[in-house]
Structures are given as structure tokens and as C-alpha cells.
Chain A
Amino acid sequence: MTAQTATKKKRRISWGAIFVNIALVLIVLAWSIPTFGLLVSSFRSRFDIQTSGWWTIFPHQEWVTVAEIQPGPELDRDGVMTFEGVSGTFLELRDGIQSGNTQVVWIGNKRIGKVVVQQKEWTRGNHDFTLENYQTVLGGKTFQIQQPDGSTLTVQGDNFVNAFLNSLIVSIPATLIPILIAAFAAYGFAWMKFPGRRVLFIIVVALLVVPLQIALVPILKLYVGLDLNGTFLGIWLAHTGFGLPLATYLLFNYISTLPREILESAFIDGASHFTIFIRLVLPLSVPALASFAIFQFLWVWNDYLIALIFIGSKPDVQVLTQRIAEMVGSRGNDWQVLTAGAFISMLVPLIVFFSLQRFFVRGLMAGSVKG
């Protein structure tokens, strides 16, 4: 009896496990398919993309023409016609008549059209994967593209290399500068005594709640006056300003909990605040610094709004997100370049994500309170 219930229970649990795994696989597929489709499409030619779905690269059943019949002029096209043992009127034949594994379709004009006999066969389609899209997107050269109707089109390549470098130029300093400034400030708030310490710190934390839309108009006006619009310095400082409350708050939480004894013994040995900060506090805070760095880097790399407003339409300074957004607007149907461009922009975040997953998750969790 007990053995029986035990096996019963075991069976129920294993059924449960199967259900759980199937549900999980379905969800994971649903979540990955969009990105996968983008990746596959970025390696297909414009012609292939427009004429067959990216999913046709998988083996699937498709009607394949096995025979063609040219109906003679004597055939009565207004009555019921019979081909390959299938009969129907012209209208029925034009939509295709299926019988078993065979389909008969009238293709083209009623008078001079032809009839094809098709069979459903397993196929992997006829696909050529190409790197041409990436060459088009990365190089600034012109390219010949074959269109679905057979004609060729000359297209000016998009210089994404420039935009990619701009994204790096914007993201790296816009990550390191706020970290440096915030770390100094966090140390100051945590371990130094000065008048106004509490008030200033409360102001810093309170500014966490300000959504950055609030700041855009006045800062844009300020930048126009100072001629900082469209400069790297301008956008670094903007990202620094918007990232600082969070950075200071997080690093303060970490630095203020460092063991007091370590810092005090360093003081007794005659070390200055600066030495302690550089030699002791920074190395001890690496986990917090790394988490925030990853969050801020991805935030800046993926940012569109701040770039749109402070870089605007200066082509030699534009970052990747802007170039892609512009392409969506101007060439929304050129999927071969859009997909390649989008994938290039995802490359760096995805590398960061898969190589530094632990810090990445922590960083994003911490960043969730960003204003």
C-alpha cells in the first residue's frame, strides 16, 4: 500500500516535471524567436527576405512543381476541364484544386496561361546566406541589390562603423566619469565630516525621483548658449548628471558599510583621505563599481532619447540607436540592412550580458530605481 502510493507520487511528480519543462521550453522559444528571426534575416538577401519568410530556412512542406501542362487552344476554357485526373472550372483551377498529395493550379491568364501539377514535398528551401548586408551597413560604398521583380537597385551603404565608434566614444566616458565622481562623493558623504553633509546627501537622494524629461529643455537651452550641443563633452556631462544620483546613492550604501577598523588603522598610519580612497576604498568597492558600471554602460549604449536631444542630427556624432531609428523612418522596408544594423547595435550589450551575467543582473536590479 505504502509502496504503491510512493510510486504513484513519484509518477505524479515526474509528470509535473515534464509539464514544467514543456511550458518552460515554449516560453523560452517565444522569447527567443524574435531575436533569432532578426539574426537569420540579417544574413539573407533582400530578394529572399521579401519573397520568403526567414522561418522557411527550416525543413518544411511546400508545394513543389512536378509537371507543367500547356493546354491546347482547342480546350474549352469556360467549361469543366480535367488535368491529371482532377477536374474543375477555370475559377476553381485558378485557386488550385487539391487531391491527396497533389495540387493542380492554373497559372496566369485564362487564354494563354498554363497548368502546373504540384506535390507537397519536404524542402529546406533554396537559401543563400550572405554577409553582404553587413558589408552594406558597415562600409560606406554603394551596392547593387537585386529586387524581387528582377531589376537592380543601387543603394548607398550606411557607414555604421562611424556610428559604432561614436557609441563607444559616448558610452565609455559616460560610464567612467559618473562612477569616478560618484565614488569620490560617496566617500566624502560616508567618511568625512563637513557642514551641510546631511542636507546635501538628502538632496542627492531626492533627485533620484526626477524623471530626466524634466531636465531636457533647460539643459538644451543652456547647451545652445554654451555651444555644447552635439559635442561629446556635452553628452558625457548629460549622462553623468542623470546617472549621478543613482551612482552616488548605490556607492554610498556600499562604501559606508566598509569596516571602520580598516579605515581607522590606515588613518593612524598617517594615510590621507585621498590615499585611503585610491588605495583602499576603490579596490574594496569593485563589486559595487562593476555592477553600476555595467548598468550605466548599457543604459548609455542603448539610450535613444538623450542622444536624440543633445546630439540631434549631426551625422558625424550620431550614435547607433539614432542611426537605426533614422533608418526605420527612411528605409523601413529595407529589412536586409535594418536587421544587420540592429544586430550590430546589439552585439556589444549581448557580449557584456553573456560574459558578465552575474554583475549584469545585479547592476540592472540596482538600476531599476533610476529616475
Chain B
Amino acid sequence: MEQLTDPTDKHRPVGEKEVKSKGALDWLATNIFRLLISLFVPIVTFIGLYLGFIFLRDSAAPKGVTAIVAIIWGVGGVAALYLVSNWLVEKLNDEWRAKIQPFVFVGPAVAILFVYLLYPTIATFRLSLFDRNGEIFVGLQNYVDIFTNRSMFVAFRNNILLWIPFGALFTVVLGLLIAVLADRSKYERTAKALIFMPMAISMVGAAVIWNMIYDVNPNVGVLNWIYTNITGNNPQAWTASNQPWNNLFLIVVMIWLQTGFAMVLFSAAIKGIPSDITEAARVDGATEVQVFFRIMIPYISGTIITVTTTVVIFTLKIFDVVQVMTGGQFDTQVIATQFYREYFTSRNSGLATAIAIVLLITVIPVMIYNLKQFRETEAF
């Protein structure tokens, strides 16, 4: 250290002015250099990213090559943007750095959220007050139309009177039942894994699986094979005839998908019940049924509410299952498929956005409640 500072000390008496001007020159030289680098690095980064974008858009390279380039470009690009902007900020003096750095960290997230969620919510609300082309202001007419249109009425009926009661009820009850049963079995892990597995499958995949089960050909559809063998009747088109009960066959798909989710949450909650409580009750002569209803259910009531609200939200937004299995025909439409149909088939942006707003208003109270519960239970 001392040796390094020595030479400058020796130079000092030679004349202050000279040193100063040399310092200023040095300062200018190094700073122009730094300034150039500070400009150069971001520009190179942007050019690199732009070239990547052009390559991905126009190239006819084999798909495998495109895949690797796309993944590296996408992920690397975002990382590079952070690196470069942070590198620039760290060149500033302490005061400015402290002011700007938080926005380098938080800024991108906030900007994306504003563009992708906040602005669209406002824009959707505005569009819902305009006509089908978004040109003429119509006030609340779209909302009036929603609640007087037969097809929308059926969608609300399906979503609220069939999907929520049947879907949510069976998901919660079955999930609870399986959790209790699995808790007493040696094969708990395997059983839970197999019942949870449908959660990994896409709703489109599930739609294919269940379309096959419901197929009219009794050699393809298990359900019709069983039905024709037992009753001797002709095979049925389960998802098309017997309206509105055909909806139940779509609801079964959701129950199949979601029960595993309910089961895992219930299972964790049941394991959280102190065993001395249940043991004490059993010693006092309580039957298993009494233990279940008088101790377990009250103890895990918080979890039951969380699971129910989550399933209800999921049910309100259900889209893929209906869209793929029936396309919303045969009176199986739900709110989300009506939104899609109004915007993409009927080209009525006013009505479609009004449906989206109705969906938002329906979901918000349940969602807020769910978030509160989620914070309390700290499920994560």
C-alpha cells in the first residue's frame, strides 16, 4: 500500500497546476473511454437481441436449431438486460446508484404487470361499454344483453348451478374421503401419487381420455360397453343428449382432475391434528365416525374452506375441458367458452369484454378470501 502511494507523493511538489491539468486530462480521457464503453455495451446487447429476434422470425433453420437458439435467446436475453442495466448503474456514484438501483430490480416486473394486467383490465372495462366493434358508446347495454341472452343464461346456469355445486362438492368430499382412507393405509404414498397424477395432465389430454370413455361405439367407450351390456339399450351419446344432465359428464372430468389436489391439502391437514386428541376420544369410546365428524372436520375446517374456494375459482374459469369435448354445444357452454365464442366467432368485442368483466366480478370476492386464507395457513 505505502509503496504504491509513494510515487504520487514524490510528484506532488513539482507544481500543483501541472498535476491538476494532467489530472483533468486523465479524467477526461478515462471518462470518454468509460462513456464510450457505457454506450457500446448496451448497444451491442440490443443489436445482439435484435439479430436473434430476426433470426427466429425469418430463419428456415431446422426446428431443433431454432429451439435451442430460441431458448438461449429468450432466457439469456432477459438475463443480459439485467446484467447490462445493473452494470451501468454500478458505474454511477453512490448517491445515484442507491436511487436508481431499486428500479433496475423492480422496474421490469412492474412494467410488465402494468402492460399485461393493469392496462388490459382498464381497456377491457372500457371496451365493455362500447358496441361490437368498439366504436359506438352503448353504456351498460352489453351487460343487459348478457343477462337477457338465452345462450348466456345457459352458460350461467351450467357454471353456477351445475359446475360449482356438483364439481366442487364431489371434489371436496372425495378428496377428504381419500385423504382419510389413505391416512390409515400402508400404501398411502402409492395411492396418493396415483390419485394426484391427473393434476399433471393437461385438460386437453384429459378431454381426449374422457371423450374416449364416453364414445358412442361400445367397443371404444367403456361407459357404453357397460351400459349396453347391463341394460341392453342402445349406446348413448353421453355428452350430447339428456340436456342439461350431459353437463355432469363434463363435470366428472374436472372432479377426476382436481380431487388429487384436494386430497393432498386435506392429507396434510389431517396429519396436523394432534394424535392425543383423537386417541383420547377413542379411549372415551367414540366411534370412528364420531371422531371424523366431531374432531377432524372442525379441526381442518380452515383447509376445507381454502380447498372449496380454490376449486370454485377453478370451476368458474373452466374452459379447456368444455371447449375440447363439446365445443360448448348441446347446452354445455360455460362463461369462459361464451367469452371465446363471442369474441372469436361472433366478433362482438363489446359483449365478450363484458363477459370477462362479469367473470372478474364473480371471481374477485372468492379470490380475496382465498388469498387471506392462503396467507394465514402459509401453504407455501
Is B153 at the interface (CB under 8 A from chain A)? no
Is B166 at the interface (CB under 8 A from chain A)? no
Q: Report if A209-B364 is in contact (Cβ < 8 Å); known contacts: A17-B184, A214-B121.
A: yes
Residues of B within 8 A of A357 (CB): 193
Q: Is the CB of A213 within 8 A of B380?
A: no
A94 to chain B, nearest CB (A): 16
Q: Is the CB of B288 within 8 A of A16?
A: yes
Q: Is the CB of B204 within 8 A of A218?
A: no
B185 to chain A, nearest CB (A): 5
What is the CA–CA distance of A213 and B203 in the complex, to the nearest angstrom?
17
Q: Is the CB of A329 within 8 A of B327?
A: yes
Q: Is the CB of B191 within 8 A of A24?
A: yes
Is B207 at the interface (CB under 8 A from chain A)? yes
B183 to chain A, nearest CB (A): 9
Q: Report if A207-B319 is in contact (Cβ < 8 Å); known contacts: A32-B194, A185-B108, A361-B264.
A: no
What is the CA–CA distance of A162 and B66 in the complex, to the nearest angstrom?
11
- Name A291's closest neighbour in chain B (CB-CB): B380
Is A112 at the interface (CB under 8 A from chain B)? no
Of the candidate stretches B3-11, B78-86, B290-298, the one touching chain A is B78-86
Is A324 at the interface (CB under 8 A from chain B)? yes
A54 to chain B, nearest CB (A): 8
Determine which residue in B78, B208, B225 has the highest number of CB atoms from chain A within 10 A of its CB, and name it.
B208
Q: Is the CB of B359 within 8 A of A211?
A: yes
Encoded as 1 (CB less than 8 Å from any A CB) or 0, chain B from 306 to 340 comes to 00001000000101100111010000000010011
Is B137 at the interface (CB under 8 A from chain A)? no
Tally B residues with Cβ within 8 Å of A. 112
Residues of B within 8 A of A274 (CB): 86, 90, 101
What is the CA–CA distance of A248 and B106 in the complex, to the nearest angstrom?
10
Q: Number of A-B pairs whose CB atoms are under 8 Å?
A: 335
Q: Which of A192-216 contact B (CB under 8 A)?
A: 192-194, 197, 200, 203-205, 207-211, 213-216
Residues of B within 8 A of A302 (CB): 201-205
- Name B267's closest neighbour in chain A (CB-CB): A361
Q: Which of A45-77 contact B (CB under 8 A)?
A: 49-53, 55
Of the candidate stretches A99-107, A116-124, A130-138, A174-182, the one touching chain B is A174-182
Q: Which of B338-371 contact A (CB under 8 A)?
A: 339-340, 343, 349, 352-353, 355-357, 359-360, 363-364, 367-368, 370-371
Of the candidate stretches A80-88, A261-269, A331-339, the one touching chain B is A331-339
Is A219 at the interface (CB under 8 A from chain B)? yes
Determine which residue in A49, A169, A205, A214 has the highest number of CB atoms from chain B within 10 A of its CB, and name it.
A214
Is B102 at the interface (CB under 8 A from chain A)? yes
Q: Report if A182-B109 is in contact (Cβ < 8 Å); known contacts: A213-B356, A328-B324, A349-B202.
A: yes
